[in-house]
Amino acid sequence: MDRAARAEYLRAIGIELWVPRHPPEGGPQSEAAPVPVPADAGATASDGHSVDARWQALWSEVRDCARCPLHESRTQGVLGVGNREANWMVIGEAPGAEEDRRGEPFVGRAGQLLDAMLRAIGLSRGANVYIANILKSRPPGNRDPKPEEVAACLPYLHRQIELVRPKLLLAVGRIAAQTLLSSDAPLARLRGGVHHFGERNTPLVVTYHPAYLLRSPADKRKAWEDLKFARGVMAQIDGDRT
């Protein structure tokens, strides 16, 4: 992505001065890149099933899930979207009204802002990011998830992370961060550092939820610092593995 295009996305976020001096390592990303078909879709996993079959099984379970009462009021389950072999995995809280209607996480105004934030650091949900939520069903009125709802849905997310095997997790919002880190610490304390998640000890960075930033635009600068920090963490991960 050239500097002019990057500046356009940063203006969409609402910060005129958010223009990096140098493009991200690895060169520009194509905005129009198609969603890749996983190269190992036919590969056999350790449990004897192909990766593609495991994704299909997971989607079927989410679609038909009745583990908690949320299935009674939702339109459909919302699994995830993006590159299933992505190095980056963005995790939010739960579907909203538009996500429930369309069956895709982070659409509407919050989704547009998230896309702009990702593009500002050379990423795209269609090319090199996979996006999911803690909950797969919309809570009525977009209220906070209840603990029993999180407990019912979290195994689905764990399986998504296991299948994608991202190099870096980006938790957006307090609930996603606290759930993934099993912490009750406020978002302000969880930002600005590298945490780790799961058996693979996957690095995890925390930032604000786009819906919050729409309500509190003064914190967009802090979110930009988080994104630059996450990009630096990824660069270090790639450097350590070369």
pLDDT along the chain (242 residues), means of 10: 54 53 41 35 55 96 96 96 97 96 94 96 93 97 94 97 98 98 97 96 98 96 97 93 61
Q: Is the separation of the CB atoms in 155 and 67 below 8 Å?
A: no
Domains and CATH numbers, the chain: 3-13+47-240 (3.40.470.10)
User: Whole-structure pTM over 0.85, yes or no?
Assistant: no
C-alpha distances in angstroms, 133 versus 5, 10, 138, 195?
28, 24, 10, 18
88-92 vs 168-172, strand pairing mode: parallel
- What pLDDT score was predicted for residue 14? 61
- What pLDDT score was predicted for residue 178? 98
